[in-house]
Amino acid sequence: MIGFLKARYCKRWLRGYGIKLVSGPFALGKGATLIMEEGVSISIAKMEFRLLMVGAMTYMRSSVELLNVGKIGRFCSIGNGVVIGQDKAAHPLGWVSSHPFQHDAPQLVYEGQLSAVEIGHDVWIGRDSMIMEGVTIGIGAVIASRALVTRDVPAYAIVAGVPARIIRYRHSSEIIADLLASEWWEGSVEDLLRRPLNKPEAFIQQCRGEPVTKVAYRRVSVSRSGWSELAAEHLRSPAKQ
């Protein structure tokens, strides 16, 4: 009962920042920390990360698995059933067996080399896709539904298939360079909504004369042991290219 009441209080407290965490704080593993900026929405999710930072306005649909992932940027759209950070070195392939029964032998120690996924801003990840551990997804990329991503994805690339391959880019190389230079994701929603978002060329031209005013979104930290507001700061993205 106490846990239920604490989870309910946490969810109510998060709503003050425009944040929705359906699974509640006790869905996090022991010792895990989830840092979120304003406007984040995470539906029912499996959470096995140690430390994850999620940027403003990013949303995730139900049945997402957040495994070995360290950073998700702002304005990302993540569909149902997406798996992020799936292990690819969990079992020894060079041993006699790949089965973990071998780990019971005291003289046998297997430690796979794992690294966290990093996802840039404005990334759209389609339903039931899987991103393997260690992958970096560039700003503005699109991952098609049921794609299996095994390698880094460049900024604004659209990838699909098993394994995922680049189908095309969302924009020309010139527009991509200008959008990256604008760093529009650092701006407030109010500022962005008054700009021609449906016309990239006009948007870029306006940004040249009137750069996006950068804001520091409010941030919160959530764990099983408690939750608190953090000092606001800019959430930097992975490599732009």
Q: Which of 20, 66, 26, 19 is nearest to 43 (CA)?
A: 20
Shared domain check, 132 and 183: no
Residue 240 lies in a domain: no
Q: What is the chain's pLDDT, residue by residue, as a tens digit (241 residues)?
A: 667 788 899 999 999 999 999 999 999 999 999 999 999 999 999 999 999 999 999 999 999 999 999 999 999 999 999 999 998 777 777 788 888 787 777 777 767 667 899 999 999 999 999 999 999 999 999 999 999 999 999 999 999 999 999 999 999 999 999 999 999 999 999 999 999 999 999 999 999 999 998 899 999 999 999 999 998 665 554 444 4
Residue 79 lies in a domain: yes
Shared domain check, 122 and 38: yes
Q: Which helix (H) or strand (E) holds 183?
A: none
> Would you call 121 a catalytic residue per the annotation?
no
Q: Which residues, other chains included, contact 170 with Cβ-Cβ below 8 Å and sequence gap of 6+?
A: 140, 142, 156, 157, 158, 176
How many domains in the chain?
2
* pLDDT at site 239: 44
Q: Which is the catalytic residue, given 91, 99, 103, 171?
A: 91
Shared domain check, 187 and 164: no
* pLDDT at site 237: 46
Shared domain check, 134 and 208: no
Report phi then psi at 166, rounded to 5.
Answer: -70, 125
Shared domain check, 222 and 212: no
How many helical (H) and strand (E) elements, i.e. helices and strands, does the chain have? 4, 20
CB atoms within 10 A of CB 53: 20
Shared domain check, 186 and 132: no
Shared domain check, 157 and 183: no
What's the whole-model pTM score? 0.90
Shared domain check, 187 and 126: no
Question: What CATH number should be reported for the domain holding residue 13?
Answer: 2.160.10.10
Residue 100 lies in a domain: no
Q: 2 exposed, middle or buried (CB, 10 Å; 0-12, 13-18, 19+)?
A: exposed
Domain of residue 74, residue span: 2-88+109-170+218-230
Instruction: State both tokens at 198.
Output: 């449906």
Shared domain check, 68 and 9: yes
